[in-house]
Amino acid sequence: MNKWLRKSFVVMVSILTFGLVTPSQFINNVNAEKPISNRDAFEVSTTEGTFAKATGSLGEAEFNKDKFMEDLIKQAEEQSYQKFGMKIKPVIENEFREVIFPNIEKALGETASQFPEEDLKNLVITEQPGKGQSEKIFNIKNSLTNKDILRFHVRRDNPPQAGYWFNFHYHTYHDEYQSHHDLGSIYWDKNTPPKWMS
């Protein structure tokens, strides 16, 4: 089928099916029927080249545990700073990085060691910290089951005569998120801290 006729047919199919059959579906079906030698270089590079890159040379991409953990830790740090917002972050950033974040990294590493590689690659970090008074910084969940594995929180404490403190802790699915696993605390001030993400 020459190119002009094929393009016309694709447009006609799209119009008649109200978009239910997309042109790419049709082209992929036509290309599957044609031998590779009859295809031009553009067709081969755009259809099969992308597939090979996405699947690691037509096989499943190799999982790299170190790279996975590095990315997870980086996302955890970004989520934490997003949670703090522009008013809190400049005040506690250095202490958080030196005191609290190493404990978060340790908790993530200990959790990762409990999972075999095929399960570990399904763990993801949530995308949005809690705003306002919410304690949630981020959760680690299994993307297949959509169940939380770890929940990282920060609570505002105001002990009598001691000012405001940020208590960092996490909960785990092992005990249905009941126990607080302490990560450390950072002193804020005697004045009430602003809301998260403000």
pLDDT 10s digits, 13-66 = 555 555 544 444 444 444 444 444 444 443 333 333 333 333 344 445 688 899
Are 185 and 108 within one domain? yes
Task: Give residue 100's pLDDT.
Answer: 97
Residue 118 has what pLDDT?
Answer: 87
Residue 128 placed within a domain: yes
Residue 146 has pLDDT above 80, yes or no: yes
Please indicate, yes or no, whether residues 21 and 73 belong to a single structural domain of this protein.
no
Task: Give the span between the Cα atoms of 54 and 60, in whole angstroms.
Answer: 9
Secondary structure class of 101 (helix, strand, coil):
helix
Domain hosting residue 37, numbered range: 3-55
Asked if 135 and 105 sit in the same domain, the reply is yes
In the predicted model, what is the mean pLDDT of residues 10-14?
56
Strands 181-189 and 136-142: unpaired
Both tokens of residue 144? Answer: 């297949």
More confident residue, 36 or 142: 142
What is the rounded CA–CA span in Å between residue 107 and residue 143? 19
Instruction: Give yes or no for residue 116 having a pLDDT over 50.
Output: yes
Task: Give yes or no for a contact between 83 and 197, defined as CB atoms under 8 angstroms apart.
Answer: yes
